[in-house]
Structures are given as structure tokens and as C-alpha cells.
Amino acid sequence: MDKLTMTETIVGVKLAKDLSWESMASDLGMSPVWLTSACLGMNSAPPDKAAAIAEYLGLGPDVAKALEAFPTKVWEQAVPTDPLIYRLYEIVGVYGDTLKEVIQEKFGDGIMSAIDFSMEVDKIEDPKGDRVLLTMNGKFLPYKSW
């Protein structure tokens, strides 16, 4: 089973059982962002987590196997069009040089890893309009000389 079929299968069951990523993640003791990303096929799951997800959804070992597979991460448009995703792209464009200044001033020459990395989404209720809190946590990797 390839990743595409795996995602369609999982999303189908999720709709049929009226589950949310949040409740699944909470029941399984995983982060909603990571769980969603693995189910959409953009991250691989370690064998025990893959088995737990498949079992939770009542799906077979072929789904678990597909969750374990290492994905080829492809996105199709250099500039994303969906407004929610574009706003994130815009933040990278507007604040990219700023983040480079602030991070490298704090840590030295290097980068924030996108591999040794986790992310959370929270909701801050606010009478003037709720707010999205997006927290990224990545290991700092210093450049080396040799």
C-alpha cells in the first residue's frame, strides 16, 4: 500500500467514525501535528506508533507498514496558493532576514533544524477574536569549519 492510498484509507475511516486529529492524538498519546503529518504521508512512523495508529482505527498491517515507510516529501508549487498556507509562506518572506539576525545573534552562525524538529498548535481564546499559537522547536545546528 502506497502513502496515497494509506492517507485516503485513514481519512475515510476518520470521517466515517467522526474522529478528530486532536482526539486521536490525545487517545494515542501523540502530538496532533505529528500524527496528522504521519497520516497525511509527510512523516514516517516508528513501528510501535504505526501499529498503534492502525489498531486504533481498526485498520490492518498494510496500513501500519505504509505508515512506517520513509516518504519522499514533494510539494508542488514554489509559491503555495491556499490562503492559510500562503500566510505561512508570507511570514517566511517578510520575517526571514529578521529571524536570521535574531537567531544567529543568539546562537552563532548556524540554522534551526527542520529534521530534529517538533511543532504544536494551540488556541488562545480571546473576546476580540481567538488567536492561533504556533510553536516550533528545532535543534540549533552550528556551521563547522574544518
Least separation in angstroms between CB 52 and a second copy: 11
Q: Which of 87, 118, 120, 131 is catalytic?
A: 87
**Could you report how far apart the first and last alpha carbons of the chain are, in Å?**
44
Report the run of H or E that residue 119 belongs to, with start and end.
strand 110-124
SS3 letters for 21-48?
Answer: HHHHHHHHCCCHHHHHHHHCCCCCCCHH
Binding a second copy by CB under 8 A: which of 13, 28, 31, 56? 31
Number of residues that bind a second copy (CB under 8 A): 88
29 binds a second copy (CB under 8 A): no
Return the residue of 4, 17, 27, 118 that touches a second copy, per CB under 8 A.
118
90 part of the active site: yes
Binding status of residue 121 toward a second copy by CB under 8 A: yes
Instruction: Decide whether 17 or 131 has the Cβ nearer to a second copy.
Output: 131
Catalytic residue among 113, 118, 120, 131: 113
Q: Would you count residue 97 as binding a second copy (CB under 8 A)?
A: yes
Q: Are 53 and 39 in contact (CB under 8 A)?
A: yes
Active site residue 113: yes
In degrees and rounded to multiples of 5, residue 122 shows phi and psi of: -125, 160
**Contacts of a second copy in 37-56 (CB under 8 A):** 37-38, 40, 42-46, 49
50/5 Cα distance (integer angstroms): 15
Is there a contact between 11 and 38 (Cβ–Cβ < 8 Å)?
no
Q: Which residues are catalytic?
A: 87, 90, 113
